[in-house]
A = this chain, B = another copy of it.
Amino acid sequence: MDLSVAPSTTAASDIVRGEDALAALTALVRDDLEACNRLIVERMQSPVALIPQLAAHIVAAGGKRLRPLLTLAAAKLAGYRDGQRHVALAACVEFIHTATLLHDDVVDESALRRGQASANALFGNKPSVLVGDFLFARAFQVMVEDGSLEVLRILSEASATIAEGEVLQLITQNDTATTEEQYLAVIEGKTAALFAAATEVGAIVAACTPAQQQGLRAYGHNLGVAFQLIDDALDYSARQEALGKTVGDDFREGKITLPVLLAFQRGDEAERVFWRRTLEEREQADEDLGRAIALMEKHAAFADTVGRARDYGNAALEALAVFPDGVERRALAGIVEFCISRAR
């Protein structure tokens, strides 16, 4: 598959290669990211030692800090120059993200997270639930110290939307009658809501124009949808193993993602019997994952999922057009390519 980003209304000079793009963004806000990492470690402390122990396991497990990077870079793009508010809010975004990861792994009964034993596998489900609660509460404490009700509004709304997306995912799991609309609502909730909030709070601290704030929010939202679409394609791709994840997790759990939906819609009756047996009744034999992947390839389900991600990626690029060209805009534009090129 050729997954390069299609030309968009944003200048071609905005577009760089995927891994380079993440490195470029990280380099651009390196000092801020280091300050954010220090703050994360500082603020996850507690007299109850198990809390920082468990939190450190997941916080230190090699995440790329994509969401806090977005907050830091969005603040810079929107003109924030003096002060450390963006650092504190980037840490809040990462705390909320970490809390949802801990709860997700409990809900999904995951054994692996970022290629390592997940917190629930290592420490048990119980502390994972409670430390997630702690990090969530701590995020709100840090926001209160920042003192912006607008930030609190954005991140409390995002948190509620994430939970709604996760519950909807649970409901649609093992249900091949799930519609594309429902699938989109799931990923807009569980992923795009926090991406959108991460970039919007960057705009808030910079006190930019309403159009720029809206632009950064739209960028984050569309990037988040693209990111999750690629994640869902990757779950059926050998490339996944290189990212330290297990191939076929979604298949084994019967999650109804876009590649599945497309293959199901385009399949004949015999194929639908296969999908119902494996995903709804969860009767799976060793060879079934291979057959699922073959059916997805036959029906161009991967290519079309990536194409859909590219559409959202282009919308993210267009949303940046409200800002003048410059190193920050180019860095954020490059992240679109990073998210989509993970699928290669």
Contact = CB atoms under 8 A, between A and B. Distances in A.
Interface in A140-196: 140-141, 143-144, 147, 149, 152-153, 156-157, 159-160, 162-164, 166-168, 170-171
Contacts of A136: 133, 136, 159
Contacts of A141: 153, 156-157, 160
A130 interface: yes
Contacts of A143: 152, 156
A64 interface: no
Contact of A48 (B47, B48, B153, B171): B171
Contacts of A171: 48, 50
A274 interface: no
Nearest to A154: B144
Contacts of A272: none
A127 interface: yes
B152 A140 contact: yes
A59 interface: no
Interface residues of A, number: 42
Nearest to A169: B130
Given A129-B106, A167-B48, A171-B50, A144 B134 contact: no
Interface string A220-249: 000000000000000000000000000000
Nearest to A163: B134
Given A147-B149, A152-B152, A50 B140 contact: no
Contacts of A140: 140, 152, 156, 159
A168 B166 CA distance: 28
Nearest to A126: B107
Interface string A26-51: 00000000000000000000111011
Interface of A: 46-48, 50-51, 99-100, 103, 106-107, 125-127, 129-134, 136-138, 140-141, 143-144, 147, 149, 152-153, 156-157, 159-160, 162-164, 166-168, 170-171
